[in-house]
Structures are given as structure tokens and as C-alpha cells.
Amino acid sequence: MKKLIACILAVLLVVSAVFVLAACKPKTKPDFVIPEGGYDGSAVTITFMSSMGQDYGVILDEYLAEFKKLYPKITVEHKRGGDYDTNRDVIKTQLSNGQAPNLAFCYSDHVALYNSSKAVVVLDDLIASQIEQTRADGTKEILGLTEAQKNDFIPAYYNEGKSFGDGKMYMLPFAKSTELMYYNKTSFDSWELPVPDHWFATDGKQGLQTTDKTSMEYALAFIRDKDPNCTPLGVDSGANWLITLFEQFETGYTKSTEPHYLFDNEENYEILTTLRRWYQNRWFTTRSLLGGNTYTSSYFTSKSSNDGKKSYISIGSSAGAAKQVPTADSGANFTVGVTMIPQKEANTPIAQSKVISQGPSVCLFNAENPQEVVASWLLAKFLITNSAFEARYGAAAGYLPVIQSVQQLDGYKEILDNADTGLNMAGMAAKLCLEYKEALFVSPAFYGSSEARDQMEILLNGCVVVPNGTADAIRQGIIAKFRDAKAKCEY
Amino acid sequence: MVDSKKQWKAWLYLSPVIILTLVFTVWPIINTVRIAFLNDYTLMGDAGGMTFSVGVKNFQKVIQYPDFLICLKNTILLTVITVPISTFLALLIAVCLNSIKVLNKLLQTIYFLPYVTNTIAIGMVFATMFSMVGSGFGGADPYISTAGIINNILGVFGIEPVNWVNAGSTYWANMFVMIVYIVWNALPFKILILLGGLQSVNKQYYEAAKVDGTSRVRTFFRITVPMLSPMLAYVIITGFIGGFKEYSSVVGVFGEGMGPAGTEGTLNTMVGFINTNLMGKKPREGIASAGALILFVIIFAVTMLNMYVSKKRVHY
Amino acid sequence: MKVVLQELTKIFPSRTKKGQEVVAVNKFDFEIPDGKLVGLLGPSGCGKSTTLYMICGLQKPSSGKIFFGEDDVTSLAPEYRGVGLVFQNYALYPHMTVKQNILFPLQNFKGADRLSKSEMLERAYNVAKLVQIDELMDRKPNELSGGQQQRVAIARALVKMPRVLLLDEPLSNLDARLRLQTREEIKRIQRETGITTVFVTHDQEEAMSISDIIVVMKLGIVQQIGKPQSVYDDPVNLFVAKFLGTPPINVFQGTVKGGRLYIGEDNVLATPDVEDQEVFVGIRPEGFIYDKNGPLHCNLRNVEVMGRDVSIVSTSDASLNPTIRSIVDADNKIDTENQTVSFSLKPHKVFIFNKETEERIRFGNTASPAEVKE
Amino acid sequence: MTNLLSLSSAGAGWLLALMIVCILAEVGVIVWLILRQREEARAKTSGNGVMHERNIENVKKTQKVVKFLVKVLIYLFLVAVAVSVLFPFYWMIISSLKSYNEYALEGEFASRVTPTFFPHKVMWSNYAEAFKTANLGTLFLNTVFVGIVSTILSLVITVLAAFAFARLEFRGKNALFAALLATMMIPGELFTITNYGTVTNILNWGNTYTALIVPFLVSVFYIYLLRQNFMQIPNELYYAAKVDGTSDLKYLWKVMVPLALPTIISITILKMMGSWNSYIWPRLVANDELHQLITNGLRDTDFAVYLADGSRDADKINYPVQMAAVTLVSIPLFLVFIFLRKYIMKGVSRSGLKG
């Protein structure tokens, strides 16, 4: 027995040793302070985690080479982190173990997550810094952003960096997209059906009975009546749709400070009841309702409408504009119209309109050697304020450049000028986004905001399949879904 | 006569196992227990220097999870249904396989194939087999057209196609698909073990039974099953342990949402809950560890129960 | 109920491709009279077990027929033959108690034969009493001794009142003392139930001691069938002679010249109406008479006193076995100084066999008494 | 309502229908057998429980028929199960040979509602593309390298441990073994996070092969399997060897390993297959191109669907090519299994798993 106790003691000893070792790993990193004289030219290696596809990485490498000419001592390791979620997981796991990349693609939700370990660098000082940096080719630049550079940003995209509730700037916008409504112009013209510019019928009547001909209600009923087999509306992201509706009807979705979740209210029940009716009439579908692998753009561009596999209106991201144009081999050919998504009331001016915008930004991570942070800042500034890079990346990835000076750039100017809804649909999307820039809004970011976004998708899917019954039974069904979503968010 | 030299040598042979187990098994367990009792512990927060109070808040949080009961119910239901079915089917197949000569080798190879494949890929195949197409699922009169093979086959027999996995499909339709998939995946290992067991049973018991005029059914229940009871007990115990850890099969068929569109999460399992708190968008390792400990306690209790039952009824 | 075997043959296909097949049993003709205890005797691999399994139906004969009474049961499955079989290592179901083991066959009765629970229990206890294991009913097989397990196996075979009882080397797993006791048990049980029984053994002493008829086999071919004593006293060939009897028969090389049998130079016996030829001579150990001026001279090796009689061990150049063992009455005074010892022979204990065919050559006055009485 | 005729080539549909027919036929046979048994029971003459004379002809006839029918029943059942096991594979393989549109019923196939059973246009190019895009070459080499090294090392450890548990007596042996078995009950996710910390922080093996190999060297099930097998080797052999001075290791190498060879071989094969399917851990610990293993390599490669104008459709995943990649990955496992099937079966059954 004595021996057994001895061996158990030995086991505990070894384990506690490992435990102490693990516990005392360098925990707290000092908050970043700009070193004297900014970047001191020392040799520094920084890692840049992006979620770019292979094809866009080529463009980035070109400009990294150019950056190398300006700052030869900074070597940039570009790591591809896979799609956005994988990228977030890899960074999250590194952060949980005290490591981090220097510079990374991110969404506002991700930064809110990273910030729970205080790893993200606050950019305000860097932006304001006037320290002079001399580049290898002798030219000089101030460390921070000049006024001109700051105003060049599209305000909504720039402000997204500050949407964390504490007014501090955590990220710079890199490339953005917004939501647009694509519609089958040939059919609309042949039916002389006006393009809907607001959602619900103002006279409260349903379907074809309503006199409000420019409402989506009327349009959907009309299309469905014309082609009984089709699914009039295809919405790519159900979550974006609900967040936009709650923002447009000002009924509340979330806010960045406690208490975060505001969507559980009477008005929203009404909205979801109507959407449920639309779904039961088979007037719309979304990507996740189709199982997540079938894209609503494929419905919009499909030829035959048997089994509902055709839609005449498609709401999707401006980044995917090219896919909303019917390809030659699909046999369907019609001209595609593209406009702003419907608003709360008819003919809402752009300034009062509300359209959600998304897209990757760039954030910096704390590092032991402040030089690494400054070097990463220089790289981020170099890429984002470089209109040529923004234009080429935007055009290739279907994203919208975040700086307006891109429009004057000769290459990009032609794209905007001969933008059409045919082969140059991407150019048309970019043109419209620039037009709608006052209407853009961003959903608030906080720890758990990405979970809230997921719950919106689940909420929409849940409400629209609430089984038929008395009006009250349906209402209770919908309320239950809201309660469940709120509980999941607050959990 | 256990002299110390022998002792020392035994520990020497076991040293690699012990060291590796200490570092990669014992330490994680201790760390998990440690984390489970640190309220609202998150790895990122810990890395960022946050401090955490000690308490049982994590465990309360696990219970308060709105879908906790759903996760528990799914885990238990899936295990309690699939383990008996797959064990009985495997036993039947093993006995039949053992009684035929022709094609024996080929069939053995076929039955072992699922063991060799990638769970996620086959999950996707099952999802497409049971899928429907069209946009009207869950609506008042959903399109009944279907792309899935299973519904097509049902069509041959004039049976109305069923909405198995798409939006608006019922809970039990989803469970049926999951049960078929889990049993399909669990059979190979069980057949292998039971077939091995059958081959080591002394032939003379069967000859004696034959001479006594025992019917096939009675031979099966009164001789084969008791003689195989050690293997059966082993297969059932590991079956339960595996069953409680079911997760990747649900992900294979329904994706990370753990349920069809519109009813996401209805098929979530305990391990699914732990994973959402580990890898999800709001990682809380404290709650995940607490959930894992609760699951471990359940598995431990069930295994002890299984051991106890098998001690009684198994003949060694 | 008598069992008739007609030209029963069993040929096993050889496992290796090129090897030819093995004839395990070759045209076995035999009629087992009702109620008799028959011993199938022979060295291992002589086809006795195969025959047993063919009778009970576990093995299908390659050709030939088996009749139970008038019914041709050749291709009938074992369960329909009404056969009780006891395996060499008992094959008791390890997870069942003795009582359950014995009841097991009864529970298989279908239709009209079905018995009520109480009848089954009663039958089980009766047969348990018969084999004297009625107080072990609730034990598990692994808690019993070899002998007890043996008796349980027999009880299990008997409980369904089979038409034929078959035993496969029932005693081979028992220790010597138990073997004698169980041997008597089997005989007693068989006589009391009067059931036709066939048992297989390679131990000739066991077969001779309890069977009514013995069948000596070799390489699938029946050598001789008959009462144990008559087969012992009148072996049909050298193999049967050598196989039966302990201590075994002494074999010499001899020649017959002019109606006289010579072993080496010694002219030991008159063998009227036998042509001159080289022969094998088999002399039973009890066939020697210690006679100072006996014709047969051997070199004395030693003498083993066994109480009732004395065993003289000697050697001779003409002998084929290393030593010659002769058993004579104890009250002979054996002169141990003298190197050589001489014997005279009891004619009916001396057999001569043809050198090539090893067939028995009978000579004149030696018709053994047993055969006459048949 | 679609009917089967519209299925242009309903091969597999009929195959699956055949399976259903098999099962129905079985039910019919079972019912017939039961009726047969009951009717046979009535036909017999009454008897006092003795195995009574039966009209042998009648019995012989039914016995032959019953024997045949039971054989048919068994084969029907086994074939039905075989079809249901094979069908997903069949479906995986033909999906891998379809073009994206045909698979997803889009584009020129949009009008179809039921999937095609045989690819209209067999796309062998999917396999080439799968190999290229997921650079299966390096993935394959990585996985084989990691697989072999970890199998060999773990084999050495398992044999030593099993030997100690089976043969050597030392205090606390059973407690230690029970503790090891208990670890099998703990859900794996529990270990991943902490082990990640240990591997990347303390041992900083991040993105190295060691990180992929070392943590999983100890597999308790295989120690259990081998211990069972070793225990079946009689003790006398060990004592005999001890008497004439052979050292433990020599005895282990000369006597125990050869005797337990089938089990050791099956452990090697099953271990190799294990490393083939591991997914979560490699993704966490070694996800860069150099060290990626097959499953997470497949998972992260975005198999592109190319639009008419050659540009990539970012949203769509080319499932057929992914299926092709998965099939390519599974083939070596199939081959290994088919050739060494005998050993796997013998290995596991030899261990008897008693007690």
C-alpha cells in the first residue's frame, strides 16, 4: 500500500509542476504606446492573416512587393486563413494562448470577440500621430492619416470602426459591400409592373386587392398570379433582411451597450406575421430555407419555374452582382434591373433610406515589440489609402472600395461610366453603392453580436414555418420563436 | 514473490504510457475541472489577464441553457434507440454470416466498408439521399416534388414522399434519418467483434443442440447469445459510451445548425452544446468544461449501470 | 429398436488440391441388435467417430444407408432421428445449471410430444437419480468433477428417451480410478434402460469389459465383429490379435515345416493340415506354461510378482517385440539363476498368421471353445 | 407527383427497390415457416413425450424444404443489408462523376426534379481537378508520414504496456489499468483545448509533425486488446523462459509478439485508419500547407465552381469535385482493408475479448 501512495504522490507532483508552468505564461500585455519616432527602421517580421481567395492573393502580393520597396526591413508573411469563420477560429485559438498575428482581416463581430482578451490595438493615437517617417526612396509621410486621407473614406464604412460603443477606433475598413435588389426587368416591363420601393401595403389590404401598387406585397401577389409555379422573391441572407427591416421600421434590433437585445417587441411580431403569410403563400424563399447550399441567385437566373425554382426579384449582396446575370448556358435571357432595396415608405429619399452594409475590415493586434505594431500600421495604411490597390481588389472580389478617390482613378472611372446591368454588372453595383452611401448603416458590434446575427436567421426560418391555425395560435407560435431567440442571445 | 527488481522493470515498461497519459490526458482533466469551477471563464479573457472567481456558476449556466433539455433528450434518445438496434442487427448479421460459406468473404468486406470512410462525407451523401427540392417547404402546401432517392423509392410503392431533412420537416422524420445513419455507421465495428466472438465458440455446443432437436430460434437465444454475452456486453458498453458522444454524425447530415432550416438546434446533442461553447462565436470554455464534466458523469453512471447489469447476466 | 448400417461409406475431400481424398469409413455393414451395447474399437483415425456421427446424423454418409428399425434415416436430420449423443468432452452448456442442461432437450419437443412443466421436471429427476447426480441439480458444469460432468452428459442424452444412445470416447477424459467406476455405471444404465447403445473408444480394455458386441476397425475398414471374448480368442488377423488384450500378445517369427511349427529352432507345436510357409506366431501372455523341458526356449530377463500370478519377462531372437511377457500361476517356482527359461504352449492360445496377408491360419485341433457355443 | 418512369436511368432506384422486395420476401418466408411449423405439429400422432415414430416421409420432405428456405432467407437478408451498406458509396461515387449543374440540378438541369442515377456526362476531370486543387499529393504524403510514424511509435508503447499489464505483477496494476480504461469515457473535446495550450505554449510544437504525432500515441483500446491477447498465452511459457535466463524483452520479442502477431497487425491497420480520419486536432495544431493532413486539407480547400466566363463563383462549393477528393482519399483505405482483411478479422477475434 505504501508504494501505491508514493506513486500517486509522484503523479500529483508532476501534474502540479505542469500546471504551475502553464499558469505563469506571460499573461498581460502592456497596452500599445507609440514608440518615440514611430518606426525606427529595425528589421521586423509581421504576419498578415487574410481570408482572401487564392486569386485575390496575387493582387495583394504585387502591392506587398511595392511596400517592400518603401520599407525593405519589414518582411510581411501573408497567411491565408480560409473563409471568414475559419479565419476567426484560427485567430481566436491563437489569442487564447497568448499568441496573435500582427494584422488580420476581420468583421466587427470578430473584433468584439478578440477584444475580450484586450488584444486589439486602439487606432486613434496612430491615426492622429504626426510623427514623420522617411521611406527608403527618401520620400516622407506622417505616421497617421492626413485630413485628406481621413475624409477620403466613405463615412459609413469609416465609422464602422468606432461602432463598439466606446467611441474608440479599433479597425480600418478594407472593402465593403451592401445589399441591392435585382429584378427581372423584361418581365416587369412586359407586365407594366412598377418596381416596388417599399415593403408593406399602406392600405393594409392583402395581395392583389391592395391599391398600393408600388408595395412589395402587391408586386409579389402580382408575379405569383402571373406565374403560379414561381417563387417571386429570393433573399440570399434572411438575417440581413430582418436586421434591415428592424432598422428601417426603427423597431429595434440590438445596440452595442447593455442591454443589447431590443428585437423582442410587438411591432416586430407584426412584421414577422406578414413575412410568414408571404412564405405560406410561397412568395419568397431564402438560402438557408433551401438548406444552405442552393443560392437564390440560381433561382433568379433559372429558365424554368417548375417546383418554384424560379424567382423574378433577388435581394443579395452587391459583391455577388455578377452572379445575378443569367449565363448563356442556363438558357434564360432577360435584362436585369438593379436598384435600392425597398424601404419603410414609398419614395424615401436616399438620405432617409437604410441599407445594411458589410465587408472585411483590418485590425491590428498587440505585440511585445511595439515596432511590429507600427510596421503593421504602416502596411495597413499603405494598402487601404492606395486607391489603385483598392480599385483592383474591389473589382476582382466584387467589393466596393472604401475610399472615394477611387472614382477619379482613370481605370475605375471607365468601370463606373459604362456600368450596365449586363456584363459589367459589378460596375453598376459599385456605382449604386457610391450613390447610396448616405443610406448605409452598420449593425452594432459587441461580444455576442455575431451570435445575434445567427439568431435572426433562425428566427426568420422559425417564424415562417409556424404551422397554420387561428391568428392567435400563429401569433403565439411567433412569440415563442422570438422568446427562444432572445434567450439564446442573452445566454 | 514480487521482488523490487520486477516492480522497477514493470514501471520502466509502462513509463512511456504513463508520461504521455499524464501530459495529454490527466493534465487536461485537471485543467478542465479547474476551468469548470472558474465562473464565466474564457480562454481569451484569461489570456487578456482577466481574473475569475471560483464558484459553480458555470454549472448553473449549463442547466439554464434554453436548449439544455433538448440536447440531453436528443443524446439519450439517440443512444437508447440506436445501440440496441445496431447491436441486434450486428448480432443477426454476424450469425447469418457465420452460417454461410459462399460469398462469406465478400460480404464481410462490404459490411466493414463504412468503418473505413470519412464520416462527414458520408453524412453529406445521406443528406442528399433524404433531401427534397423546391422552395415551398414548411408552407401550407409545400411542393411534394423531391430530389432525394429515398422519396423516389417510396414513390415507386405509391407512398407519399416525406419531408425528411428540409425546412418544416418533423422532429421524428429528422430522428429517423439520424437513427438510420448512426446504425449504418455503428454496424461494422459491432459485426467485427461479434463475428470474432462467434468463431471462438466451441462447435460442439451447436452439435449437441442439433442432436437435441433445438430449433434455430431457440439455439440463437439459448446458446449463441449467452455464449456471446461477454462480447455483447462489451459492444453494448462501448456503444453507449460512443452514443453519448454523438455529434459529428448530426453535423454530417444537418450541418453546424444541428437541425433543418426553421428548426435549427432541435437535434443538438450534449457534445454539440459543448462544441458551440468551445468553437462557436461566443466561446465560453468555462461553460463548455462544466458541460463536459456533466456529460462525463452521465456516461460514467450509465457505464457503471451497464457493468452491473452485465455482471449479473453475462456468463464468463 | 435395431440399427442397420448398409455399406456405409464416408469419403472426405482432401484439403490440399493435389492430395487424394481420405476414405474414413469403407463399406461398413453391421446390424446393431436391439438393446445391445456395441463398442466401436480401433486406433485413432480409424473412422469410429465418423461412423458414430453418421449414425446420429451430424455427418452425411458419402454412400450406403442407415436404418432405424424399418425407417431409412440416412438423410434425416439428427433432431428427427431420436438419437442421444454424449460428446467426448461432454459439451455441457456452461451457462446453464445441471437441471437446465438436462431439461433443455425436453423443452424442444413440439406438437403432440410437448410435456407439461411438471412432467419434464419429473423425467429430469428420474434420469438424474438413474445416474446418481440428483443432488447436483443446481450446480454449474464448471463446479463439477470430470466424472460428474460425464454423468450429467449421459443424463441429458437419456432424458428424451432416445431410440439409440451414442457415446464418443466417454471415459477418455477421466482419471484411471474414475474410469473403472464410470465404466460400470454406463453398463448398469444401459442394462436398466435396455436402450441400444453404441460407444466409441480407443481403449480396448474398456470396450471388452462392458460391450455386448465389439467392432474392431482399422483405417475405415471393419476388421472383425463379435463378442469380446470370441474376438479375443479367435482374432481374424494379426492386427486384431495385437490390438486386444493387456498385456498385449507376443508376436514371433516362425516357420511351419511338415505340419510342425518352429520358432527359431524350437519345434513348439503341431500344426496339422497347414502347408509349410513362413508365418507370424502370436502367443497370448497367458498361453505359456512354465515347463523345464518345454519346447520353447527364451532368455530370462526378470520376473515380476503380481500376487495371484507371476509375469516372466524374457527375450528371444525370433520375437518381434522387444520383450516377451508370459503370465503363469504364482505357485510355479521360477528358477531365476538359470539364464534361459523354457515354456510349453497352450495350443488354443497360439495363433499363426500368413506372413503377407497377416490373415489368421487355423489349424486342426485348436477350435477355441468360445466359438463353439455361439 | 413524379413517378419512377421519369427517372431516365433508374438503375440504382431499381436496386434499392430490389432491396425492399428482398425484405418483403423475407417476411413472407418467415410467416410461411411459422405456419408450416404449426401445421406440422398438428399432423403428428400424439405421443407421451417419447421421441415417437413419425411418418418419416412427411418429416423428411418438410425438413428438406425448410432447410432450403432458411438458406434463402439468410441470403436474402444478407444481400439486403449489403445493398443498403453499399448504396451511399455508390451514390458518393456517381456524385463525384457528375458536373456541378447535374449534381445541384441547376443550369441546364434546372428543369429536372429527380436526380440522375448515372451521370449524363461522366466527368473524370473532377478527379484530376480534385487532386490538383486540394494538392492531394502533399496531403497524402503528410498523412502517410504522420500515420506510419505515429503507428510505429504507438505500437512499441502499446506492446510494452500490454506486456507489463498482462505478465508482470506490480502493486496498483489493476487500479492503473481501470484508470486508463476510464479515460475512454471522457468526451474528446475536453482534451482538445487544454492540449492545444500545452502543445503550442509550453512545448511550442505548433505547426510541426510532432504536434500531430505525440499527443495520440497512447490508445487505451489497443492496449486493452493486446493485453487480452497476451493473457491467453499460458504463464508457464514465461516461467520456462525465465528459468533459462531469457530477459523480459527477449521473451517478449521471441515468444509473445509472434504469438500475438494477428492482433498486432490488426492494431496497426486500425491505428493507420484512425490517423486518416482525424480532423479537429490537425486543423487546430498544424493547419499550414506544409503540415495539413487529408481531412482538414479537404475541408479547407474551396473546390471552385467556375462561371462561364472562367471567373470563380465564390459562393458555390463544387460538391462533385469534393466527393471525388473524398473518394480518392478513401481508396487507399479500402485497398489496405481488402488485402489485410484476414488479419483484421483474426486479430480482433483472436483477442476473444473475454472478461
| Amino acid B93: pLDDT | 92
Q: How confident is the model at residue D8 (pLDDT cuts 50, 70, 90)?
A: very low
User: Does the structure show a pLDDT above 90 at B153?
Assistant: no
CB contact under 8 A, C110 and D40: yes
**What pLDDT does B77 receive?**
93
Q: Which residue in A368, A377, A363, A361 sits closest to A32, CA to CA?
A: A368
Note whether A294 and A338 are same-domain residues.
Answer: yes
Question: Is the same domain home to A368 and A479?
Answer: no
The residue written with cell numbers 415593403 in the block is A199
Q: What CATH architecture is B59-130+165-313?
A: Orthogonal Bundle (1.10)
**What pLDDT was estimated at residue C261?**
85
Q: Please state which of the ranges B298-302, D6-10, D159-163 shows the lowest mean pLDDT.
A: D6-10
Q: For position A244, what pLDDT does the model report?
A: 93
Cβ distance A318 to A179 under 8 Å? Answer: yes
Residues A442 and A474 in one domain: yes
pLDDT (average), residues A26-40: 71
Q: How far apart are CA A111 and CA A173, in angstroms?
A: 12
Chain D contacts in chain B segment 46-85 (CB below 8 A): none
Helices A449-464 and A238-248: angle between axes, nearest 10 degrees:
100
Question: What are the residue ranges spanned by the domains of chain D?
Answer: 8-43+52-96, 128-351
**What is the reported pLDDT for D354?**
41
Q: Which of C79, C103, C164 best probes binding to B when mutated, by most B CB atoms within 10 angstroms? A: C79
Q: What is the pLDDT of residue A30?
A: 66
Architecture of domain D128-351: Orthogonal Bundle (1.10)
Cell output for B130: 433524404
CB contact under 8 A, B43 and D330: no
Chain-chain contact of B134 with A309 (C-beta, under 8 angstroms): yes
Identify the weakest region by mean pLDDT among A12-26, C284-298, D120-134: A12-26
Quick: pLDDT tens for B87-141.
999 999 998 888 888 888 888 888 888 877 777 778 878 887 887 765 666 666 6
What's the gap in Å between the CA of B129 and the closest CA on chain A?
13
**What pLDDT does B26 receive?**
86
**pLDDT of D271 strictly over 90:** no
CATH classification of the domain holding A253: 3.40.190.10
Residues A183 and A262 in one domain: yes
| Range in A161-165, A465-469, C333-337, D274-278 the model is least confident about | D274-278
User: What's the domain count of chain A?
Assistant: 2
The residue ranges of every structural domain in chain C are 3-238, 247-373
User: What does DSSP say about strands A355-358 and A177-184: parallel, antiparallel, or unpaired?
Assistant: antiparallel
Say whether pLDDT at C160 is over 80.
yes
Least-confidence region, from A26-35, A85-94, B105-114, B204-213: A26-35
Domain ranges of chain B: 59-130+165-313
The larger pLDDT score, comparing residue D318 to residue D77, is at D77
Asked whether the beta carbons of C124 and C159 are under 8 A apart, the reply is yes
pTM of the model: 0.80
Rounded CA-CA distance D155/A392 in Å is 55
What is residue C356's predicted lDDT score, i.e. its pLDDT? Answer: 87
3-state secondary structure of C10: strand
Give C197→chain D minimum CA distance, Å. Answer: 16
Is a pLDDT exceeding 90 seen at residue D55? no
Asked whether residue C365 carries a pLDDT value surpassing 60, the answer given is no
Using one digit for the tens of pLDDT, what is the confidence trace for C227-269? 988 888 888 888 888 888 888 889 888 888 888 888 888 887 8
Q: What is the 8-class DSSP label of residue D69?
A: H
The pLDDT assigned to A474 comes to 92
Instruction: Cell numbers for C107, please give them.
Output: 423443452
Q: Is the separation of the CB atoms in A235 and A284 below 8 Å? A: yes
Name the nearest CA neighbour of A296 among A332, A324, A327, A325: A324
Q: Is the pLDDT of residue D107 over 90?
A: no
In this prediction, residues A368-397 reach a mean pLDDT of 83
Chains C and D touch (3+ CB pairs under 8 A): yes
Q: Is residue A194 domain-shared with residue A318, that is, in the same domain?
A: yes
User: Cβ B285–D13 below 8 Å, yes or no?
Assistant: no
Residues in chain C with CB shorter than 8 Å from the CB of B315 are 94-95
A interface residues, D as partner, C-beta within 8 Å: 1, 3-4, 7, 18, 21-22, 25, 53, 55, 79, 82-83, 86, 90, 93-94, 96-99, 293-295, 297-298, 302-304, 306-307, 309, 319-320, 322-323, 327-331, 397-398
The yes or no reply on domain C3-238 and CATH 3.30.70.360 is no
ipTM score over 0.85, yes or no: no
Smallest Cα distance from B286 to chain D, Å: 11
| pLDDT at residue D14, as a whole number | 56
Residue contact B20–D214, C-beta within 8 A: yes
Cα dist. A249→A268, A279, C147, D333 in Å? Answer: 9, 20, 95, 57
Cβ(C170)–Cβ(C186) under 8 Å?
A: yes
Please spell the DSSP secondary structure of B224-241, one letter per residue: IHHHHHHHHHHHHHHHHH
pLDDT band at A2 (very low <50, low <70, confident <90, very high): low
Which band of pLDDT confidence, cut at 50, 70 and 90, is reported for residue A53?
A: low
Q: Which chains touch A (3 or more CB pairs under 8 A)?
A: B, D
| CB contact B163 to A (< 8 Å) | no
User: Is the per-residue pLDDT at B44 higher than 70?
Assistant: yes
Rounded to an integer, the average pLDDT of D327-344 is 78
A246 located within any domain = yes
Q: Are C166 and C86 in contact (CB under 8 A)?
A: yes
Whether residue A342 sits in one domain with residue A295: yes
Window 130-149 of B, Cβ < 8 Å to D:
133-134, 144-147, 149
Q: Which chains touch C (3 or more CB pairs under 8 A)?
A: B, D
Within-domain flag for A419: no
Name residues whose C-beta falls within 8 Å of residue A267's C-beta, 6 or more positions apart in sequence.
A249, A251
Q: Which residue has the higher pLDDT, D291 or A64?
A: A64
pLDDT score for B134: 59
pLDDT for residue D41 is more than 60? no
From A180, A161, A149, select the one nearest A403 (Cα to Cα). Answer: A149
pLDDT value at residue C36: 87
| pLDDT over 60 at C370, yes or no | no
Contact residues for A46 (Cβ-Cβ < 8 A; gap 6+): A74, A75, A76, A77, A102, A103, A372, A375, A376, A379
Long-range contacts (CB closer than 8 Å, 24 or more residues apart) made by D200-207: D200/A94, D200/A97, D200/A99, D200/D285, D201/A22, D201/A25, D201/A97, D201/A98, D202/A18, D202/A21, D202/A22, D202/A25, D205/D285, D206/A99, D206/D285, D206/D286, D207/D285, D207/D286, D207/D287, D207/D288, D207/D290, D207/D291
Per-residue pLDDT, averaged over B152-161, amounts to: 79
Say whether both A149 and A185 belong to one domain.
no
- In this prediction, residues B179-192 reach a mean pLDDT of 90
Report the percentage of chain A scoring pLDDT > 90.
18
Rg of chain B, C-alpha, whole Å: 24
Please give the pLDDT value at position D44.
42
CA gap A420, A403 in Å, rounded = 22
- What's the pLDDT tens digit per position in D214-229? 888 888 888 887 887 7
- Which of A111-120, A173-182, A329-338 is predicted with the least confidence, judged by mean pLDDT? A329-338
The C-alpha cell at D8 is 431516365
Range of the domain at A54: 44-176+359-408
Longest dimension (CA), chain B: 81
Share of chain D above pLDDT 90, in %: 1
Shared domain for A198 and A294, answered yes or no, is yes
